[in-house]
Amino acid sequence: MTLQLPSEIVVDRFLPTARSMLAVELDDRGLPQQEIATKLGISQAAVSKYLSGKQTGEPRFADNPRMVETIEYIAEGFATGTLDDYEALSELLDLIRAFEDRGPICAVHEEEMPALEGMGCDLCVRGQNKGLQAERDVLGDVRHAVRLFSNTPAVVDHIPNVGSNIGMALPEADSQTDIAAVPGRVHAMRGRVNVPSNPEFGASENVATTLLAVMAVDPSVRGAVNLATSDELLAAADEQGLEAVAFDASYENRAERIQSLLEDRDRAPSVLYHEGTFGIEPITYVFGETAVDAVETAIACLSVDA
């Protein structure tokens, strides 16, 4: 991986694309190649290459409707004399700013630096701050937890039919959108763990609801994973010295009921479970200070079970 600034993407990829598109548009409007070269700040030979199609630029920029519209606007202004250089530069800078904020420049930058995936614009456009760093840390922890979970063969037989999920909350989370989890959940398929996509905030309902209820009692608990309830799993949890507390399976007012169940405790139990009811599969939730902690605790139980 090469350390690359977004400004390098602008210079090396965006600017040649803009010049290529402008050269074609100005040629279509009848401007001589030398005049085009002067306007674009390049040589006539470069204009010739652009017009020959030998240099076409980055498709993600060239095919973007806003880019096409901006280039056509600037070309028309140059051809008719209604747009000066200052105004043209302003249009291009507005376009660059838009493209850097989760747009094509951001996409190309993330491709060059995979470590920025999903967070690149937060760093480049908005700058680093504690809130954004907390989001990045949570997403990173959940990704690590998901890898750990999916690479442990023992978990396959304990994933419920509705799927498992692995979640972690931001500090002081108060809604489902403050909790990162796997969209679509994690499922067992052909004896393996299938992870459909990378974690996102707001991707869980049941794990998030349960985790928020537990956090209301014990804010130190921010990670959770759910498994299928079984006698073997609960026995393994007991053997690990983990307290397991049962609660009613109904979805109605679940958060309030869990908080009421735990409100007299100094700390939350490591395990909450229910035995299911009509239309609701039996589920066990394992908690930890982070998503990785929760998964490691669950795996420790499954290893005892194995």
**Percent of the chain whose pLDDT exceeds 90:** 69
pTM over 0.95: no
**128 versus 163: which is more confidently predicted?**
163
128: pLDDT confidence band, cut at 50, 70 and 90?
Answer: low
The pLDDT, as a whole number, for residue 305 is 44
Cα–Cα distance measured from residue 201 to residue 143, given in angstroms and rounded to the nearest whole number: 12
The mean pLDDT of the chain is 90
Give the mean pLDDT of 119-134: 62
Cα–Cα distance measured from residue 225 to residue 271, given in angstroms and rounded to the nearest whole number: 10
**13-17, 57-61, 258-262: segment of lowest average pLDDT:** 57-61
Give the mean pLDDT of 117-138: 67
* Structural domains of the chain, ranges and CATH numbers in brackets: 6-124 (no CATH), 134-305 (3.40.225.10)
- Residues contacting residue 66 through CB under 8 Å, at least 6 positions apart: 95, 98
The pLDDT, as a whole number, for residue 203 is 94
The pLDDT, as a whole number, for residue 306 is 44
Instruction: Return the structure tokens found at 15.
Output: 């600017």
122: pLDDT confidence band, cut at 50, 70 and 90?
Answer: low
The pLDDT, as a whole number, for residue 134 is 87
The pLDDT, as a whole number, for residue 151 is 92
Give the mean pLDDT of 166-182: 95
Element containing residue 291 per DSSP (H, E): helix 291-305
Cα–Cα distance measured from residue 25 to residue 73, given in angstroms and rounded to the nearest whole number: 10
**Other Cβ atoms within 10 Å of 218 Cβ, number:** 16
Residues 132-151 pLDDT 10s: 778 888 998 999 999 999 99
